[in-house]
Each structure stands twice: as C-alpha cells, then as structure tokens.
Amino acid sequence: MTLWAGFFRGGMVVGVLAWVLLSGCTPSGTGPQDEEKEPYFLAGKSRISTLDYKGAVDCFEKALQANPRSAAAHFELAWLFDEKEVDPAAAIYHYMHYLQLRPKAENGDMANQRIMACKQALAATVSLGPLTDKMQHRLDQVAEDNKRLAEDNKRLTEELEKWSSYAARLQTLTNHTATPLATPAHVTPASPTLQSSTALSASSNPAAAGTPTSGAGSRNHTVKPGETPISIAKKYGVKLQALMAANPNVDPRRLRVGQILRLPGS
C-alpha cells in the first residue's frame, strides 16, 4: 500500500510540473498583464502621474532588474527618455529591446518611427571636434562679413532701382523730343542759297538781326544766345510744331547762335 501511495504522489508532482511548463507560468514567461502588475512598474506609473519623471525612470529600471524581459518596462523607459528626459541614445536602446520582446506589438510601427527620429536627433548633437577660439573668431568674422554684404547688396539694389527709374524717365523725355514732325505739303524748305543770303544781310545790318524780315512770302529769324525753339515760337506767335515743320533740317536740341530759322507764314 505504501508503494502505491509513493507512485501516486510522484505522478502528481510530475503532472503539475508539466502543466506549469506548458502553460508558460514561469517567471521568464510572464505576459503583459503580469509585467504591469509588478510593484516597481506600478510605482513608476505612479511617479509619472505626479510628473516625477526621474523617479519614474528609477522605478522602471528596478522593474527591469526584477524582470529583465519586461517589455512594458522597456517601453515606459523608452518613452521617458524620448519625451521627458531627452536622451535619444537611451530611448533607442529601450525601444529596440521592446520590439525584440514584442515583435508583433500593435504600436511597433510607432516605435520604429521614434527610433528613426531619435537617431536623427542623436546625429544632430554629434560634434565634429572641439571649437577653438581661433575657429570661433573666424566664424564670428564670417557672420559679420555676411551681414555687411547683405546690407551692401540691399543698398546697391535700391540704387539700381533708382537709376533704372531715372533712365526710364529720361528715355521717355528723349523719345518725345526726338519724335519727327511731319512737314506740311504746302511748305517748301528754304534753300541753302537763300539761307546764306539772309545770313549776310542780317550780319551787315545788326539792327535788323532777330527781327522779322519781309520776303517773297517768307520770314526768317537769326538765333541769338539763350534762345530756344519754344521762346522763338512764342516771340512770333506761332506754334512750335509749325516752326519745326518749317525747319525740318534743324535739331531743336542743338540750336547755334547765328543760325537762320524759317518762320512759318502768318
């Protein structure tokens, strides 16, 4: 009877051990819910609720000491180092361990995205070497030169715009003055011979210079210093266009003293 009782008790022990192994209830096989019930993990969540992030980090690290395969603790630490304590290297470390322990996690894509963001942030903090005083002075000098060049460029641009506007106005005035005037069909330009004889007559009689001269249906005027086509036209009461039409070979911008102008008939 004792022998059979011993066999019976041994069979029960073996059966219980087999059931434990198959059901995965060993400490290394704890599930997400068991990880989140761990005392240190609960303490870390409590510290987060009170905004004690450093204390939370300490609690979750102790939770990992108690259970190194706690994916939940790794994720909480990754989040803390990513968002609160700003340590990209530590965040990458815990995100990667979280994905190794839970490769099919629902938030796996988010964790991978945060890993890439942390890598970029980490690369931005890498220094290419110590910055000496000489290098800093050179950088300051380059920045000052760039500022001065920007100011000079702005000033030159304003000057260019001003001169471009002035040139456009000058071109408009020049084109307006140089517009050729139509010669009326009934006006006949004075011949060079007539102009020469009139000039000799005016020079021989200074009193008559610059006064209307009677002729065969035409009048002449000898240009005096300071006179312009406009002042001559006003003097004789004729239109400037008619005066210039009567003298098509005369450049109104280059009148010469002593030059003979033909006056249009009244």
* CA gap 233, 247 in Å, rounded: 12
Q: According to the model, what pLDDT value does residue 8 have?
A: 40
Q: Around Cβ 176, how many Cβ atoms within 10 Å?
A: 8
What's the gap between Cα 97 and its chain centre? Answer: 43
DSSP states of 80-119: IIIIIS--HHHHHHHHHHHHHH-TT-TTHHHHHHHHHHHH
Q: What are the percentages of helix, strand and coil residues in the chain, rounded to 5? A: 65, 5, 30
* CA gap 80, 57 in Å, rounded: 7
Q: According to the model, what pLDDT value does residue 218 have?
A: 65
Q: According to the model, what pLDDT value does residue 260 have?
A: 92
pTM of the entire structure?
Answer: 0.40
Q: According to the model, what pLDDT value does residue 265 have?
A: 75
Query: Are 6 and 37 within 8 A, CB to CB?
Result: no
Nearest to 262 by CA among 231, 253, 254, 229: 229
Q: According to the model, what pLDDT value does residue 206 have?
A: 44
SS (H, E, C) 191-224: CHHHHHHHHHHHHHCHHHCCCCCCCCCCEEEECC
Domain boundary assignment for the chain: 24-124, 192-263
Q: Considering Cα of 98, then 104, then 110, then 116, what sign does the dihedral take?
A: positive
CATH 3.10.350.10 fits 192-263, yes or no: yes
Query: Are 60 and 77 within 8 A, CB to CB?
Result: yes
Q: Which phi and psi angles does 207 have, rounded to 5°?
A: -65, -30
* SS3 of residue 260 by DSSP: strand
Q: According to the model, what pLDDT value does residue 179 have?
A: 53
Please give the chain's pLDDT, 266 residues, in tens.
444 444 444 444 344 344 433 343 434 446 778 899 999 999 999 999 999 999 999 999 999 999 999 999 999 999 999 999 889 999 999 999 999 999 999 999 999 999 999 999 988 877 656 667 777 887 888 888 888 899 888 989 988 988 888 888 888 877 765 555 554 444 455 445 444 444 444 444 444 444 444 444 568 999 999 899 999 989 998 888 888 999 998 888 888 899 999 998 75
* CA gap 161, 167 in Å, rounded: 10
Q: According to the model, what pLDDT value does residue 12 have?
A: 44
Query: Are 81 and 90 within 8 A, CB to CB?
Result: yes
* CA gap 4, 133 in Å, rounded: 90
CATH topology of domain 24-124: 1.25.40
Query: Are 245 and 182 within 8 A, CB to CB?
Result: yes
Q: According to the model, what pLDDT value does residue 68 have?
A: 94
Q: According to the model, what pLDDT value does residue 81 have?
A: 95
Q: According to the model, what pLDDT value does residue 250 have?
A: 87
